[in-house]
Structure 1
Amino acid sequence: METENTENGTLEHWTPAEVKAAFDKDEIILIDVRTPQEFNVERIEGALLAPLQAFQPRHMPSQSEKRIVFHCGSGVRSGKVANQCLANGFGKVAHMKGGFSAWKDAGFDYTGTDMATGAPKVMRKS
């Protein structure tokens, strides 16, 4: 994990492998900040949705038991959300470097949409 000291606190940049390992052990809350439309087409199973366009740091759960890690498509929007949280008093905030694209490039499972039926389907980029 890389860290960045900002004027408002420490921003952690987690790799997809670090996120997956912690998520599999139930050590983090993974929050997707993409649009509902993006989330409906493909997502990391078990991630929560808090879209950037309606994001309010004060509505985030406490990090007293689990670290919150944000992700988006490429890491740009999750970085913005993380910085908003730091500006609103969060001590440390984490986001996934490279976003959902990096998750898929790493070959990790995700839930996509079977275009033939419209049904959810476990997928993996090969």
Structure 2
Amino acid sequence: MKTEEVGNALLETWTADEVAEAFARNEIVLIDVRTPQEYMFEHIEGALLMPMAFFRPEKLPGQGEKRIVFHCGSGARSERVARAAIASGMARVAHMEGGFGAWKGSHKPYIGTNMATGAPTPVG
């Protein structure tokens, strides 16, 4: 994990492996900031959807029991959202480096779309 001090806050950048391990142990809440269309086509099972266009940091839960980790397609949008969360007063925020592309590139399981039927299909 990489860390960067942003004022009095800490921005963490997690690898797909770190996210997968923490998610499997139920230590984090994974929030997908991609569009609803991207999410419906393929997503990490159990990740919550809060599209960047509708992001409201004041609506996020506290991080007392579970940490929040944002992710998007490549890591660019999730970093912007993480920085917006810090700007709203959150003291420690994380996002996944490389986004969903890194997750798929690491051969982690996800829900895809069966192109023949349009049905959600587990991949990996």
TM-score, scaled to structure 2: 0.98
Verify: 1:93 aligned to 2:93, yes or no: yes
Where does residue 71 of structure 2 map in the other structure?
71
* Identity score, percent: 57
Q: CA deviation at 1:19?
A: 0.2
| CA deviation profile, 1:31-59 (whole Å, cap 9, x unmatched) | 00000000000000000000000100001
| CA deviation profile, 1:4-39 (whole Å, cap 9, x unmatched) | 111351100000000000000000000000000000
Aligned partner of residue 19 in structure 2, secondary structure: helix
Structure 2, gaps ≥5 residues long: none
- In structure 2, the CA distance between the partners of 1:8 and 1:33, relative to structure 1 (3 Å rule), is farther
**Equivalence map 1:8-87=2 (5 Å):** 9-87=9-87
Aligned partner of residue 29 in structure 1, secondary structure: strand
Aligned partner of residue 93 in structure 1, secondary structure: strand
| CA deviation profile, 1:68-119 (whole Å, cap 9, x unmatched) | 0000000000000000010111010000000000000000010000000111
Distance across 2 between alignment mates of 1:31 and 1:70 = 5
Q: Write out the 4+ residue segments of structure 1 that deviate beyond 2 Å after TM superposition.
A: none
* 1:8–1:86 CA contact under 8 A, matched in 2: no
Say how many residue pairs are matched: 124
Structure 1, gaps ≥5 residues long: none
- More moved, 57-66 vs 6-15: 6-15
